[in-house]
Amino acid sequence: MRYLAIVSAIWAFSFGLIGNTLNGIDPFFIATARLAIASLLFLPFLRFSAMPSGCHLKLIACGGLQFGLMSVCYLKAFQYIPSHLVALFSILTPVYVILVHELRERRFNPRLLYPPLLSVLGAAIINGQASPAGSIWRGFLLMQIAGLFFAIGQVGYRGWKRRHPETKDHQVFALLLIGGFLVAAPASGFFSDWSAVRLESQQLAVLVYLGSIASGLGFFLWNKGAALTHPSTLAVFNNAVVPLAMAASLFVFGEVADLSAAALGRLLLGAACIGGAILFAEKMQFKN
């Protein structure tokens, strides 16, 4: 669980950095650059000899879904909605995690949904005044697609790692990141105008940070934690970043001027619900 908590703290500032510092830069370029940097970071650790035969393409496909398609949809959403709404609209991802896990196991235990739904409630409370309208619905839809792909990928990797515990995460993780890059790069090739991309020094520094820390280290620790965690706890942690990210976007990056007691109260109450959901998930004893 500690890996998921560490990544939640790292990712909290990613929303604000992308929505403010990288605002206006092509999202497909950002996705491709982030995944390229992350892939290069883990490439020296890649060990084909440590993998069971026939797993290479499966891991590449898993990364293509979890990191490639997710990143493309997630970053595209910033063109329609501010970063605090990007964080808010990710609240259904825990439900997707449970549904994907139960579908893979060919069963359904409705009690597994209780902690994720409590975390969804908490995330909704945080910005209960948000009223999707117009282009905001496009951002909402993109975030649901991103959440579904992220859920499929992390549940898929969790299942693979539990079947192959002898393989170390760092020995195979480059394949997942390469899979993500192989999805993002063609999207950027078709839709990006690379000649129009101009990065200032601050933007370049943020992009390197996002690629190496948020994407590289963050994705690695997240999947490592996913393999060690009960699916209900994993689902809930997909919303643990919401109060942190919204707090960073609203109060650190100053996306809105409303720092009222009511806004702070919603944030604290929503965070309490998500924290309670994490404890609830940890106490529940289900068979994996």
Give domain status of residue 50, yes or no. yes
Give which of 260, 255, 203, 238 is closest to 85, Cα–Cα.
Answer: 255
147: containing domain: 2-283
Give the whole-angstrom CA distance, residue 222 versus residue 154: 8
Which DSSP helix (H) or strand (E) runs through 228? Answer: helix 218-228
The verdict on residue 247 lying in a domain is yes
Against a cut of 0.75, is the pTM above it? yes
- 189-228 per-position pLDDT tens digit: 888 887 778 888 999 999 999 999 999 999 999 999 999 9
133-156 pLDDT, tens digit per residue, is: 557 778 888 988 999 999 999 999
Is 48 inside any structural domain? yes
In a domain? residue 124? yes
* Count of domains for the chain: 1
- The DSSP secondary-structure symbol of 25 reads S
Token digits of residue 63: 């990364």
**Which comes out higher in pLDDT, residue 127 or 94?**
94
Whether 288 is in a domain gets the answer no
Is residue 202 assigned to a domain?
yes
- Report yes or no on 228 lying in a domain: yes
- Counting every residue written for the chain, the total comes to 288
Q: State residue 288's pLDDT score.
A: 43
